Amino acid sequence: MEAADTGGIIALPGVQDLLLSMDGLAWAIVTSMDRGQFQARTAAAGIPLPEVVVTAEDVTEGKPDPSGYLLAASRLGVDPAACVVVEDAPAGIAAGHAAGATVLAVATSHAASALTAADLVVPDLTAVRAERGALRVRSST
C-alpha cells in the first residue's frame, strides 16, 4: 500500500541538482524501503537512479547496522572510508560511521540538533555540489 501512495512525493531541495552534478562520481542509494516502494517513490519524485541501489531486501539487518553501506561500497568497488554518506536520520548516521564513511546529515526529516553525530549537518542539499571528483559544501556564513 505504501508503494502505491505517491501523492505529494517530491524531491527535496537540492537533490536533483546534486545528482545531476555527479558527472562520473560513483554513487549509490541505500534505503530502508523495499524495492517496490523505492521504485514508486523515486519515479514519483523524478529522481535519477544510480547503477547501485541497496534496499531492505538486500540486507538482513537495517540501519544502524552498516551492512547496507558496506554492500553499496563493495558493489561500487570503492573503500567505504572514501565514501560520503548523506543521511537524514540518527540510525543512518550511525550506520554510515560504522561503515567507516564520512557522514553528511540533512535536516529534512529530523531537527539538526538530533543529527549532531554526523561529520557535518546542513539544512538541505542546496549547498552541496559534486565538483572535480569530490563533494563540495558551500558555507552558509
Residue 1 has pLDDT above 70, yes or no: no
Q: pLDDT tier at 93 (50, 70, 90 boundaries)?
A: very high
73 pLDDT tier (thresholds 50, 70, 90): very high
What CATH code would you report for 15-133? 3.40.50.1000
Q: Where are the domains of the chain?
A: 15-133
Q: Half-sphere exposure (CA, 13 Å, Cβ side) for 56? A: 9
Q: Which pTM value belongs to this model? A: 0.91
Q: How far is CA 36 from CA 39, 106, 120, in A?
A: 5, 24, 31
How, if at all, do strands 102-106 and 84-87 pair? parallel
Amino acid at 136: R
Residue 93, CA distances (Å) to 3, 14, 46, 56, 121 in order:
25, 20, 25, 17, 11
Joined grid coordinates for residue 85: 554518506
